[in-house]
Amino acid sequence: MRMQKEEKIVVVLLLMALGSLAVAFWAFGPEEGGLDSSSDSLSQKDAGLSVDGMVLEITPTKSGGNLLLKLDSTQLPIFIPARASAKELQARIKVGDRVKIRGTVSAFQGKEELVIYRQADVQVLST
């Protein structure tokens, strides 16, 4: 059984589309050879980061009900969005508490910060 001219055209177009997708995946993928592979901090973004330390500062944001923490063990500011129960965490955490925080490194206005997505990602170790 031979393919008709239209069927051959469809097969060629499908192969071209698959080839284009493969090239795009290779060029924009997170593996080596991708456009963003030069930054070492991107591997931290994918894997997440866990830090523990003493709370030095607790600052509510000016709008949105979010919270920013500073720990003695890291330079990264820790951002807790309102949807991650920032108000409840603010009532539970005090300056001087020792905490363990798990989050994802993200960029905000050109600077990296540790972003928390769930209230359970913040554990108070001692007060």
Do 105 and 58 lie in one domain? The reply is: yes
The pLDDT > 70 percentage for the chain reads 85
Q: 71 vs 40, 56, 57, 95, 96, CA distance in Å? A: 22, 5, 7, 9, 9
Is the overall model pTM greater than 0.75, yes or no?
no
Residue 27, pLDDT score: 80
In contact, 105 and 74? CB cutoff 8 Å: no
Q: Looking at the structure, do residues 34 and 45 belong to the same domain, yes or no?
A: no
Contact by Cβ (8 Å): 79, 114 = yes
Q: How far apart are CA 89 and CA 76, in angstroms?
A: 18
The domain of 30 spans 1-38
Contact 92, 67 (CB under 8 A): no
The per-residue pLDDT for range 54-97, each reduced to its tens digit, is: 999 999 988 888 999 999 998 989 999 998 888 888 889 999 99
Minimum mean pLDDT range among 5-9, 33-37, 70-74, 99-103: 33-37
Residue 53 sits in the same domain as residue 104: yes
Residue 45: predicted pLDDT: 44
Which sign does the torsion angle of CA 22, 27, 28, 34 carry? Answer: positive
Count up the domains in the chain and report the number.
2
The burial of 13, by beta-carbon neighbours within 10 Å (0-12 exposed, 13-18 middle, 19 or more buried), is given as exposed
